[in-house]
Amino acid sequence: MSTRLRKLSLALPALLAVLAVSGCGDSHTRVTTGTYAGEAGKGAPYLYVGPLIYEVQVSRELNPFNHEDATYLQGLTPQQLKLEPGQEWFAVFVQVYNENKLPYPAASSITITDTQNNTYSPIVPNQTNPFVYRPSTVPGHGQLPMPGTIADDDPAQGAMLLYKIQIVSLDNRPLELKIVDPDDPTATASAELDV
């Protein structure tokens, strides 16, 4: 075998291995639509909405009689705390990243919709709740929740969006989280939530 052919036969497997690995991609996808897999964020999309990036950390039902879950409900008025028959608490924990030098406002419209087009908007507890997602300005090269805060250090590792949803909506899955850019309502992103 010629030297040139021998070198090619040795290089070909290495080239194929590089192509195979590069085809696998990252466990996170940079998109405006996607599915949240839930297993430690694996497969969770980075959702680009305007200049900011949103990542769902966890989404789950909350039990107000559970001590840990009850802390997520602090700061609600008695009227807000009341669940109607057939309702339950549902929380989505998100992180928001700003990779730009300039600060940008985070989304104030983040809704959940089931397959029957029932749409839910978040309920915002008062300032005594340190876990809540509050639409604010994300500093340049910064994130929400801010590093070192209770929400960032919490096991959910995200700012909480709190919803009252109909239990029947859990049967009408997948639930879809929709995020709207506050500066451009036509710029949106959505992800299926793992319940």
In tens, the pLDDT along 143-155 reads 999 999 999 999 9
- pLDDT, tens only, 26-55: 444 445 555 553 434 455 678 999 999 999
Residues 100, 137: Cα–Cα separation, whole Å: 12
Which domains does the chain possess? 27-193 (2.60.40.1240)
Percent above pLDDT 70 for the chain? 76
Residue 70, sorted as left (phi over 0), alpha (psi -120 to 50) or beta, turns out to be alpha
Tokens linked to 66: 């559970």
Query: What does pLDDT average to over the chain?
Result: 83
Q: For residue 16, what pLDDT band results from cuts at 50, 70 and 90?
A: very low
Strands 87-97, 104-105: pairing kind: unpaired
Count the neighbouring beta carbons within 10 Å of the beta carbon of residue 100: 14
pLDDT for residue 7 is more than 70: no
Predicted confidence band of residue 183 (pLDDT cuts 50, 70, 90): very high
Number of residues in the chain: 195
Mean pLDDT of 85-101: 96
- Nearest of 187, 32, 140, 164 to residue 88 by alpha carbon: 164
What is the full DSSP assignment across the chain? --HHHHHHHHHHHHHHHHHHHHHH--SS-EESEEE---STTTT--EEEETTEEEEEEEEEEE-TTSHHHHHHTTT--HHHHPPPTTEEEEEEEEEEE--SSS-EEPPSEEEEE-TT--EE------TT-TTB----EEPTT-EESPTTSHHHHSTT-SEEEEEEEEGGGGTSPPEEEEEE-SS-TT-EEEEEE--
Query: pTM for this one?
Result: 0.80
Mean pLDDT across the stretch 86-97?
A: 96
With left for phi above 0 and alpha for psi between -120 and 50, is residue 108 left, alpha or beta?
A: alpha
Question: Minimal CA–CA distance to 106: which of 58, 158, 156, 61?
Answer: 158
pLDDT beyond 60 at 169: yes
- Find the range with the poorest average confidence among 12-21, 37-46, 92-101, 171-180: 12-21
